[in-house]
A and B are shown apart, each in its own frame.
Chain A
Amino acid sequence: MRSLSTCFIAIRALRRNKLRSVLTGLGIIIGVAAVIAIVSIGNGAKAQVEAQVASLGQNVISILSGNYTSGGLRSGGGGAGTLSPEDAIAIAREIPDAIAVSPEVRDRAQILANGLNWNTSVIGEGTDYLLIRAWDLAKGAMFTEQDVRSVGKVCIVGQTVVDQLFPDGDAVGQTLRIRNIPFKILGVLKGKGYNLFGQDQDDVVVVPYTSSMKRVSKRTNLNSILVQASSPEKMDRVQQDITDLLTQRRSGREPDFTVRNQIELAQAATATANTMTLLLGIVAAVSLVVGGIGVMNIMLVSVTERTREIGIRLSIGAHDRDIRIQFLIEAMILSGLGGAIGVALGAGLSEGLAYLNGWNTSIPAWSVFAGLGGSALIGVIFGYFPASKASQLDPIEALRFE
């Protein structure tokens, strides 16, 4: 067949019009670059969300004080409600698959040490807290059951607190003052970074929940209870058991608690990331189609401009098909090359953005193939009309064209 020499002819023709070739490819370059960049950034965002969800701990169920769903009236989290340490103890005792339980009291307070002060989140927790959150200590040790029972003035601190109050030394063994009450620092947590809501998880002081209730927040109820189920499969069961147990303990009163699990949270967050990626991806795909129309436009101009060339080719023996394939191949090479440059540019763009903003990005292999294949396909689709227009020219008319 003569498709090989047609390829050759198409490449020669493109080489003859370098500037126009580049300009035509530009639309495709931008479109593909946008698709690649957005997909990779979206992918990175998803990976980040997944990592953050994982940082919440494994198989975690939260029991929040207050009913978020009754009759459209929502009491603020941890506001009204009667979640008590006894509820937590009952869960640990009655539900065997609840392998770790931590009562939780949240508060913010001004803390002091070394003549420096800092406003931070002071949370009261049980001894299982670090286990549930899959959080390790960098130094020192967690407080014990004994500390919880004795309402001990002990705490562990997050990395940010260390940075703020102990800029040049080891915090373990030192004392910091919470609302002017001295607490001994037993341990320093490993850095965990930001959570899904953009909060610094390391900006925290963890004290026994009893100490928080009696000494710091002076509250009689818990904000929430964290429970870890023994396995992902047991989550639903444990969640139901907790609801039943707490309802029973309230002997038929309107429930004043809400049970949530981490999977729901993860799904919501991932869904948001996916939706964003999809929407932006659609915008990018539209720009690719616009690029394709650009290719068609320039190819049409090119066919008109090269009418005489087509006439010459026809007069010396080119078939309709030769002309059609020549222009199709030109369109394909233009948009295919545009696609390749676009992939490179998009990869560079996403790396650059990732570097500047500290995002994670990952370029999935499928998006590279889709970018290249898609742009070549666009070349065929939008090149077809100009190409068949060229192939139908009358040689005499075309030769006479000025």
Chain B
Amino acid sequence: MQPVVQLEDIHRVYDTGEIKVHAVRGVTLTIQKGEFIAIMGSSGSGKSTLMNTLGCLDQPTSGRYLLDGIDVSGLGRNQRADIRNQKLGFVFQGFNLLSRTTALENVELPMLYSKNRLTARELRDRAMHALDIVGLAARHDHFPNQLSGGQQQRVAIARSLVNHPQVLLADEPTGNLDTRTSIEVLGVFQKLNDQGITIVMVTHELDIARFCKRNLVVRDGLVVRDEQVKDRSIAAIELDRHRDAETAAKLTGHVA
């Protein structure tokens, strides 16, 4: 089967005038359909740069990037915008929802920039369906400031899904969330992955990475480790365990 993503010797050098920062120095990587990958590494190791390359937000200084069999490394600004719109979905650490805009309208946004025209009714139906997948259909008319962090991130996931992307890219999606909400969001990812969506996620927490199927470790712009996760965490189970632990903490707190 043809891989969804093929990176061949990708380099990215930031030219900041005096010094050149070599953020990615020769990454070769193949991602198959249905994978769920965590990219780990310390701060400044080049994870975000790699993600931006995968997300067609940034262009590599050298190397080849095939997305769904198409070479996207030489595309222009607007062509890359179309790729992002049609084939990729983004989830950010800071949610990046439009403020003073309802959840539904936020989810509709990628469709407004699509090539194929949809009626207002189709827009709404598809957005509602995406919100339903993340369990927030009932909150469609809420504004971001009326939603919790976890809920906002779920709206962002719905937005990333609405155009049926090939790959879902998430740069530290749980970075702003507490443990329990993080597990909830990972549960959504696992559910989506079970339905066949390819997910690449950046995290620097080992616990979070254990929810994925494959872990990559990046150091100084190079992939230094690439392994399948053996004893994978399942969100539904972890959530129960977390709830028990919380209850226990409360009880002991009471006694003491």
Contact = CB atoms under 8 A, between A and B. Distances in A.
Are A and B associated in one complex?
Answer: yes
B84 A316 contact: yes
7 contacts: A12-B105, A16-B98, A313-B113, A315-B84, A315-B90, A317-B81, A399-B96
A104 interface: no
B112 A9 contact: yes
Contacts of B110: 316-317
B100 A317 contact: no
Given A2-B112, A316-B109, A399 B81 contact: no
B56 to A, nearest CB: 10
Given A8-B112, A16-B101, A395-B57, A319 B96 contact: no
A323 to B, nearest CB: 10
B16 interface: no
Given A309-B98, A399-B96, A318 B113 contact: yes
- Enumerate the 3 nearest inter-chain pairs by beta-carbon distance, A residue then B residue, closest first: A317-B85, A317-B113, A16-B100
Contacts of B109: 312-313, 316
A16 B145 CA distance: 14
Interface string A379-402: 000000000000000011001000
B77 interface: yes
Contact of A318 (B57, B81, B97): B81
A315 B57 contact: yes
A314 interface: yes
Contacts of A184: none
B84 A317 contact: yes
B84 A320 contact: no
Interface of B: 52, 55, 57-58, 77-78, 81-82, 84-86, 90, 92, 96-101, 105, 109-110, 112-114, 117, 159, 163
B112 A396 contact: no
Contacts of A311: 96
A314 B80 CA distance: 10
B78 A319 contact: yes
Nearest to A316: B110
A399 B82 CA distance: 18
A5 B112 contact: yes
A401 to B, nearest CB: 11
Nearest to B106: A312
A322 interface: yes
Contacts of A308: 96
Contact of B98 (A312, A314, A319, A322): A312
Contacts of A396: 52, 57-58
A18 to B, nearest CB: 10
B90 A316 contact: yes
Interface residues of A, number: 24
A34 to B, nearest CB: 33
Given A17-B100, A313-B109, A320-B78, 13 more contacts: A5-B112, A16-B99, A16-B101, A311-B96, A312-B97, A315-B84, A316-B85, A316-B110, A317-B84, A317-B113, A396-B58, A399-B92, A399-B96
A362 B86 CA distance: 57
A311 B52 CA distance: 13
A316 B92 contact: no
Contacts of A316: 84-85, 90, 109-110, 113, 159
A349 to B, nearest CB: 34
Interface string A7-32: 01100100011000000000000000
Contacts of B77: 319-320
Nearest to B98: A309
A369 B52 CA distance: 49
Contacts of B85: 316-317
Nearest to A402: B94
A148 B78 CA distance: 95
A12 B105 CA distance: 9
Contacts of B97: 312
B16 to A, nearest CB: 13
Contact of B113 (A12, A322, A399): A322
Contacts of B57: 315, 395-396
Interface string A315-342: 1111111100000000000000000000
A317 B96 contact: no
B141 to A, nearest CB: 14
Nearest to A318: B113
A262 to B, nearest CB: 66
Contacts of A17: 100
Given A16-B101, A319-B78, A2 B96 contact: no
A17 B110 CA distance: 21
A12 B98 CA distance: 11
A395 B96 CA distance: 12
B129 to A, nearest CB: 18
A322 to B, nearest CB: 6
B146 to A, nearest CB: 15
A314 B81 CA distance: 7
B111 to A, nearest CB: 9
A40 B249 CA distance: 79
A312 B96 contact: yes
Contacts of A312: 96-98, 109
Instruction: Tell me which of A17, A311, A320, A396 has the highest count of chain B C-beta atoms within 10 A of its own C-beta.
Output: A396
Nearest to A16: B100
Chain A CB count within 10 A is highest, among B81, B86, B96, for B81
B35 to A, nearest CB: 22
Nearest to B90: A315
A12 B99 CA distance: 12
Given A12-B105, A309-B98, A317 B86 contact: yes
A315 B57 CA distance: 7
A201 B230 CA distance: 109
B19 to A, nearest CB: 19
Contacts of A2: 112-113, 117
**A309, A315, A399 pick with most chain B CB within 10 angstroms:** A315
Contacts of B52: 396
